[in-house]
Each structure stands twice: as C-alpha cells, then as structure tokens.
Chain A
Amino acid sequence: MLVLATLAGALGTVSGCSSSSATDTDWKAQKAYGATMAKKGFWREALFRFQKAAQQKPDDAEIQNNLAVGYEATGETARALAAYRRAIELSPNDANIRRNYARFAEYYTAAQRTGAPAEAPTPAPTPRPTP
C-alpha cells in the first residue's frame, strides 16, 4: 500500500510538471513535431512548426537553431544566417549549434563563389515580345 501510494505521488509530481501550462507543452510539441518532419525530409512543414515554437519561445537557442536549419533547407539563406546568429548568441558554447553554423558558413561561401545562393542573382535578360 505504501509503495503504491508513493508511486502514485511520484507520478502525480511528474505529470504535474509536464502540464504546468498549455503554452509550455505547446512549443515543446511544435518543436518535437517539427523535428519529426525534418527527419522525414518534410522541411516546409518542419519550418512551419519551428516558426510556431519560436513565436512562443523566442529565446530558446535550440529552436533558433532548428529554425535556421529549416530556413537553410528551404533556400532562405539570409533568414538562416540571422537565426544561426541568434542561436549562437543565446547559447555560445553549444557544440552542435556551432558546428551547424560553421557548415552553413561553408555552404554560403561556396554558393556565392560558384553561383549566388539566391538573394541577389544577376538580373534576367529582357524578354522579347512574342510575335
């Protein structure tokens, strides 16, 4: 009886912690769902979830990192750069974030060298009027 009572008490404490507020669980759920989508390669959906999570928890380095990866995967390099910088600012010693940022910088530089990554491509030729 005593064992059961203790178990019930402990479980009560755990569940009480996880549902302390609706918002708290929501950003976690958005982040986790976004990560699952990222794992499957659905980057648009993942980005949408990370954006939702970032709206609720703007000062979370992990969410900013995920957001940056999402932007990178969808070709929005300027936004990715801003999000990576924010993530580094929030958690300067996180090895994974630093590694991601270094890899992103490599891609960004290489893309600029061989073909612009996107934001400012050379203007297109003037279209000819169709006869």
Chain B
Amino acid sequence: MTARPRLAGTLAAGLALAAAAGPLLAGSFEAKLRLPIRPKLAVTGRERISIAPFIVASRTTDKKEATRIQDFDLDAEFRRHLGKLLGKRTKMTLVTMPADVKLPTSVLKDLTENSEFWRAVGARTGADLLLTGVVDFKVENKSGYRTEEYVSPIDRRTYYRQILVESTGFTFDVSIVALDGRTGAKLFTENFRDAKEKPKRAADEMVGLFENLFSLESQLLGLFVVRDREANRYVFD
C-alpha cells in the first residue's frame, strides 16, 4: 500500500530535477570558422601591377661561406619569383617593367618620396600599382661549440664535453613599397623577414634562399589577396 505513493514521489522529484537542470544542460560546443584576413591594400584584385627594380641592401655576404651566390642577381631573382607568385595566385595583370628603368637612388626614403619618377614609370607602363623596395639575403656560418652530456662507458659517470656543431644560417629580408602608378604616391611599406638554419656548414645557398622565399609566400600574398585561417570558438546552444 505504501509502495505506490513512494514511487509517485520519486517520479515527481525526478521530473522536477530534470526541469531544473534543463538550462544547465544547454551547454556549449566548439564551432569551426574560417576567419578572413583582408589584404593590406584595398584592391579589387584586377589591377595592373608592375614590379620595379629593388635595392639590394648589402653585398656583405661572407664570400667564403657563399661561393655559389657571389655573382647572384638577388634583385632579378626576387622580382622573377614575386612576379610568378602574383601571376599564379592573384587575378592582377602583371605588366613587364621596361629593362631600362633604373632606380634614381639607392636610399629607400628618397626613392619612395620621388613621386615624379614613379608617376613617369606608371605612365610608361600603364600600371595602377608599382612595387619596389629593398631585398637582402645573408648567409652566415653559425657553427660553434656546444656543451653535451656524455656517459663514460668505462666508469659510467656523466661528464660534459664540448662538441662542434656545424650549421649555416640563411636570412632573407625584404621591404616592399607599393606606389600608386597614377600619382606616384606611396601607398604602404611592409617588411618581411625569414631566417633558417641548416645543420651543415656548406649548405647550399640557393636552396636556402628559395626556402626563405617559399616561407614568405603567404605573407607576401596577404598584401594583395584575401586569405583565411581556420579557428575554433565556443558557441552556446
């Protein structure tokens, strides 16, 4: 006789608990979203663009360490790489810069302020956007002695010893300046830098250079095209 009221009480309590816990069970989940990163320059993406010569910052590369790049034309190689990148990954029209266009100065500040010169280059090429800047590539010998733990097979004790670790460092540094092809005015300056270290003393310089350039590709493209990146965020339901 007492079993029924007890059962009813338990059921009622359970339902009341469920009702109270309802809002608590609402919870949250992690949603995936792609976050847009808009380009540095407000372009439509269909502009005519031309790449002017770049200033080569220094020829101070240690020649003993970089025999293969002594006569290397860094400016031409970088412009070729950038042109290929823009041609493939953007919808911009790449206009060839006439070969006789020479920079009037090798001082970046003076160069970017010379709107007369850039206006003339813009008129000659018919480009909406002109790129120039400074490039630098350094090869450095990063070899050195490092301390290492060593367990002697004779007495099983731990000793410390100095070992020579050979490595080569490659640093690529570029400042890109975008100029308005019509007015010659500077639109922006952006600096990119990539440093890599290879575990060999005589690592190939050209491979080092192009590894630097490939690492910078997405950042360079970020100046002209919208990119996105994946992210997770909590959303309450």
- Tell whether, in the assembled complex, residue B236 and residue A100 are in contact, meaning their CB atoms are under 8 Å apart: no
4 additional contacts (CB under 8 A) given A14-B15, A96-B28, A114-B222: A73-B33, A73-B35, A103-B231, A122-B187
**In the complex, chain B residues whose CB is within 8 Å of the CB of A103:** 231-233
Q: Which residue of B lies closest to A35 (CB)?
A: B237
Please, could you name 23 A-B residue pairs with CB atoms under 8 Å apart, sorted by A? A2-B5, A6-B8, A6-B9, A10-B11, A31-B237, A41-B33, A66-B236, A73-B33, A75-B36, A100-B234, A103-B231, A107-B229, A114-B37, A115-B39, A115-B222, A118-B36, A123-B42, A124-B44, A125-B47, A125-B128, A126-B128, A128-B181, A128-B182
Q: If A65-B236, A69-B235 touch, does A128 touch B38 (CB 8 Å cutoff)?
A: no
- Tell whether, in the assembled complex, residue A128 and residue B126 are in contact, meaning their CB atoms are under 8 Å apart: yes
- Tell whether, in the assembled complex, residue A115 and residue B40 are in contact, meaning their CB atoms are under 8 Å apart: yes
Shortest Cβ distance from B101 into chain A, in angstroms? 18
Q: Which residue of B lies closest to A60 (CB)?
A: B236
Interface size class of A (residues with CB under 8 A): 35 or more
Determine whether B215 belongs to the interface, using a CB cutoff of 8 Å to chain A.
no
Determine whether B105 belongs to the interface, using a CB cutoff of 8 Å to chain A.
no
Find residues 31-77 in chain A having any chain B CB closer than 8 Å to their own CB: 31-32, 35-36, 38-39, 41, 43, 62-63, 65-66, 69, 72-73, 75
Q: If A124-B41, A125-B182 touch, does A14 touch B236 (CB 8 Å cutoff)?
A: no
Determine whether A22 belongs to the interface, using a CB cutoff of 8 Å to chain B.
no
Determine whether A105 belongs to the interface, using a CB cutoff of 8 Å to chain B.
no
Contact digits for B8-52, partner A, Cβ 8 Å, 1 yes 0 no: 110110011011000000001101111111111111100110000
Shortest Cβ distance from B100 into chain A, in angstroms? 22
Shortest Cβ distance from B228 into chain A, in angstroms? 9
A100 to B35, CA, bound (A): 13
Determine whether A90 belongs to the interface, using a CB cutoff of 8 Å to chain B.
no
Contact digits for A1-18, partner B, Cβ 8 Å, 1 yes 0 no: 011001101110110010
Contact digits for A94-117, partner B, Cβ 8 Å, 1 yes 0 no: 001101100110010001001111
Q: Which residue of A lies closest to B41 (CB)?
A: A122
**In the complex, chain A residues whose CB is within 8 Å of the CB of B36:** 75, 117-118
Picked from A14, A75, A118, A124, the residue with its CB within 8 Å of the CB of B43 is A124
Q: Which residue of A lies closest to B126 (CB)?
A: A128
Determine whether B207 belongs to the interface, using a CB cutoff of 8 Å to chain A.
no
Q: What total of chain B residues lie within 8 Å of the partner, measured CB to CB?
A: 51
**In the complex, chain A residues whose CB is within 8 Å of the CB of B18:** 14
A69 to B159, CA, bound (A): 55
- Tell whether, in the assembled complex, residue B237 and residue A125 are in contact, meaning their CB atoms are under 8 Å apart: no
Q: If A14-B15, A100-B233 touch, does A125 touch B7 (CB 8 Å cutoff)?
A: no
Contact digits for B201-237, partner A, Cβ 8 Å, 1 yes 0 no: 0000000000000000001001100010101111111
Q: Which residue of A lies closest to B229 (CB)?
A: A107
Residue among B4, B15, B229 with the highest chain A CB neighbour number at 10 A? B15
Q: Which residue of B lies closest to A65 (CB)?
A: B236
